């Protein structure tokens, strides 16, 4: 164990990452700003990478810093649990409230939070599903997952991943209709969604077609994918909603072409609620989990929406 950094160094690093400030970390731990800075430089020398970057008066963890923070927090949490008294264990509140848009909540996020709960059974996750941008502080929300352009007033944000659209259908449907080129879509039912434009994808594929005027219409993206799973037609699916179905082979993408959606998925959280270290850990775990994943559909080139 001699190769390990000191516990004080790890606590200084964790506090700096959580508070995004060397000065605040020093104040919390009863150290000087210089002591915290020195300990973090020691860690950077050990890791061979920068762990923080300055943005104004804020120290933001780099990608290497985020990865190390997740591991250090997990280790400190285990030590904290091991040496806590029975009374401390009983009184400790480990509860994180997440709000998310329904589409991602019932698909990608649901499956990833199941993984998180299996890894961290001591942290309770409360998932609230809503299209409405809630008042996070008033409603006690720690983390939000939103679809949009980012930049919501009064919230810190970090992009989870960009979104793109590509046609998907069931393997049986593809076999029956032998879809080999985009023009083949003219002879099959197209499943429509009020929030996505087939005409945009047609233009990217070099087809001078307008928006389909017929075919089942859905105002809910997961329901759209259920119709595609049932073999009712071809859906213009959002990558990250269809990801698990595509990887499992229950949906297939007939064409190696996607278009970038106008919106991306974002993590959002209120300033000042980072005092809950479990909420910070969940947020960073989701960021790391998203960064590990390859795009779910085969895409040779992605075309930005006009």
* Percentage of the chain modeled with pLDDT above 90: 48
Quick one: pLDDT at residue 1? 52
Distance CA 258, CA 302 (A): 5
CATH 3.40.190.290 fits 93-306, yes or no: yes
Quick one: pLDDT at residue 92? 55
3-state secondary structure of 208: coil
> CATH classification of 7-86, choosing from 3.40.50.920, 2.60.40.10, 1.10.10.10, 2.60.40.1220?
1.10.10.10
CB 207 within 8 A of CB 183: yes
Q: Which residues have C-beta within 8 Å of that of residue 88, sequence separation ≥ 6? A: none
Instruction: Please state the domain extents for the chain.
Output: 7-86, 93-306
Rounded to whole angstroms, what are the CA distances from 9 to 27, 36, 42, 60, 283?
15, 8, 8, 18, 23
Distance CA 299, CA 252 (A): 12
Regions in the chain scoring below 50 on pLDDT: 273, 298-301, 305-306
Quick one: pLDDT at residue 87? 59
Quick one: pLDDT at residue 300? 39
Quick one: pLDDT at residue 35? 92
Distance CA 174, CA 253 (A): 9
Distance CA 304, CA 306 (A): 6
CB 155 within 8 A of CB 144: yes
Quick one: pLDDT at residue 220? 87
CA 291 from centre of chain: 8
Quick one: pLDDT at residue 275? 58
- Give the model confidence (pLDDT) of 187-230 as tens digits: 999 999 988 889 999 999 999 999 998 889 998 888 999 999 99
3-state secondary structure of 27: helix
DSSP E strands: which ranges in 214-294?
A: 217-218, 234-238, 258-269
Helix (H) or strand (E) holding 100: strand 95-100
């Amino acid at each position: 164990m001699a190769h390990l950094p000191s516990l004080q160094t790890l606590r200084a690093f964790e506090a700096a990452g959580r508070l995004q400030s060397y000065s605040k970390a020093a104040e919390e731990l009863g150290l000087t700003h210089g002591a915290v800075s020195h300990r973090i430089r020691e860690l950077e020398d050990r890791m061979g990478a920068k762990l923080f970057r300055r943005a104004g008066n804020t120290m933001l963890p780099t990608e290497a810093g985020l990865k190390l923070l997740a591991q250090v927090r997990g280790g400190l949490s285990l030590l904290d649990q091991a040496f806590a008294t029975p009374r401390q264990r009983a009184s400790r509140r480990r509860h994180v409230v997440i709000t998310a848009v329904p589409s991602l909540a019932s698909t990608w996020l649901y499956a990833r939070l199941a993984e998180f709960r299996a890894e961290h059974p001591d942290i309770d996750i409360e998932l609230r599903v809503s299209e409405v941008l809630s008042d996070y502080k008033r409603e006690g929300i720690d983390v939000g997952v939103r679809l949009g352009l980012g930049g919501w007033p009064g919230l810190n944000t970090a992009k989870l991943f960009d979104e793109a659209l590509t046609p998907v259908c069931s393997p049986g449907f593809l076999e029956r209709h032998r879809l080999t080129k985009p023009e083949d879509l003219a002879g099959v039912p197209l499943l429509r969604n009020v929030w996505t434009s087939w005409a945009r994808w047609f233009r990217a594929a070099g087809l001078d077609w307008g928006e389909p005027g017929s075919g089942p219409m859905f105002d809910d993206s997961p329901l759209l994918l259920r119709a595609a799973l049932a073999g009712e037609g071809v859906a213009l699916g959002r990558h990250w909603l269809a990801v698990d179905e595509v990887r499992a082979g229950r949906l297939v993408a007939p064409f190696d072409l996607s278009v970038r959606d106008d919106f991306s998925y974002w993590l959002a959280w209120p300033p000042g609620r980072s005092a809950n270290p479990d909420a910070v850990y969940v947020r960073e775990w989701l960021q790391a989990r998203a960064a590990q994943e390859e795009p779910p559909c085969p895409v040779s080139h992605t075309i930005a929406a006009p």
